[in-house]
Amino acid sequence: MESDQVQKILNGDVLAAAKLIRDIENENPDISSVVETLRTHAGTAFTVGVTGAAGSGKSTLLGHLVRYFRKNRNMAVGVIAVDPSSSLTGGAFLGDRLRIQSEDVDEGVFIRSLASRGWKGGLSKSASDVVLVMDAMGKDIIFVEAVGSGQADVDIAGIVDTCIGVLVPGMGDDIQLMKAGIVEVADIIVVNKADREGAGSLKALLEAVIDMKEQSPAAWKPSVLLTQATTGKGTEELGEAILSHKEHLTKSGELDKKHKKR
């Protein structure tokens, strides 16, 4: 029975994967051997975390990235949207997933919402295992969107290859995110809603902060991009920046090191 479930997931079976993810969320102890078997087949997907304050437009931005990697790059895409938990049921509010599904989603895209259930760091406790399942399914790139809880969202960097921090000009949360270390952990920083006053100033400030960091010449220098998620402006450049970071990690050997740690 377990071998059948494993084989179905390796073949990309959405129903089998959804059932296993549900069991992972519910902390069903009977599926531990299935997860460990899948672990031996995973490790090829590239993972991208998207974090930022509530209202920064992460979900809309993510929808455009899904479209870019499906239509422009012909990549199989997985999306894990970690939603705030319902205080009554512990289940995820499906707002993020519904916004992403308004994009051009096809059979090459698998989206799953997870409830944070109060787990610190803006993530669900089960998020890393769900990444594993999507990896074993054969997804080329997997996005993890963290709950916009501000300071703790930086924890997402621990389970992804590329971390994207989304900021918006004129929001007090921007300062909090900068204090929390988003500049330290983000590989790419996005100033979204770039048509707002102060977008250029925020971009310049972020670039100045990055320039002050001490790092070796061979290290990756985080890029700061302007986007307008409502129109899609700048999202293609963001997609290209993700691929540039992947190339850097691959050539430097860092990608292999990251995957071995998990």
* Amino acid 210: pLDDT: 87
Residue 241: C-alpha distances to residues 10, 35, 65, 188 (Å)? 29, 32, 11, 8
pLDDT tens-digit readout, 150-196? 444 567 888 899 999 998 998 765 565 555 567 778 999 999 999 99
Residue 237: C-alpha distances to residues 68, 77, 137, 147, 250 (Å)? 10, 18, 28, 24, 20
* Amino acid 148: pLDDT: 59
CA angle 130, 136, 137 (to 5 degrees): 90
Model confidence, pTM: 0.89
pLDDT of 231 above 70: yes
Q: Strand, coil or helix: what is 196?
A: coil
* Amino acid 87: pLDDT: 37
* Amino acid 14: pLDDT: 95
pLDDT tens-digit readout, 32-42? 999 999 999 99
Residue-by-residue DSSP string for 128-149: HHHHHHHHHHT-SEEEEEPP--
> What's the pLDDT band for 212 if we cut at 50, 70, 90?
confident
Q: Strand, coil or helix: what is 51?
A: strand
Residue 19: C-alpha distances to residues 14, 28, 112 (Å)? 9, 11, 11
pLDDT of 141 above 90: yes
Q: Do the beta carbons of residue 113 and residue 94 sit within 8 Å?
A: yes
CA dihedral 213, 214, 219, 224 (to 10 degrees): 10
pLDDT of 115 above 80: no
pLDDT of 122 above 90: no
Q: Kindly state the average pLDDT of the residues 200-225.
A: 88
pLDDT tens-digit readout, 40-92? 999 999 999 998 877 888 889 999 999 999 999 999 999 998 876 543 334 44
Residue-by-residue DSSP string for 57-90: -HHHHHHHHHHIIIIIT---EEEEEEEPBPTTT-
pLDDT of 4 above 90: yes
Q: Which residues pair with 245 in a beta bridge?
A: none
pLDDT above 90 covers a percentage of the chain that reads 52
Burial readout 37-54 (b: 16 or more C-beta within 10 A, e: otherwise): bbeeebeebbbbbbbbbe
Nearest C-alpha neighbor of 146 from the set 89, 84, 104, 194 = 84
> What's the pLDDT band for 127 if we cut at 50, 70, 90?
confident
Domains and CATH numbers, the chain: 2-261 (3.40.50.300)
* Amino acid 176: pLDDT: 53
CA angle 153, 155, 156 (to 5 degrees): 80
Cα atoms in the 13 Å half-sphere on the side-chain side of 193? 15
Q: d(Cα 233, Cα 94) in Å, to the nearest integer?
A: 25
Q: What is the mean pLDDT of the chain?
A: 84
pLDDT above 70 covers a percentage of the chain that reads 80
Nearest C-alpha neighbor of 61 from the set 234, 244, 248, 256 = 234
Give the contacts of 108 (CB within 8 A, at least 6 positions apart): 70, 75, 76, 77
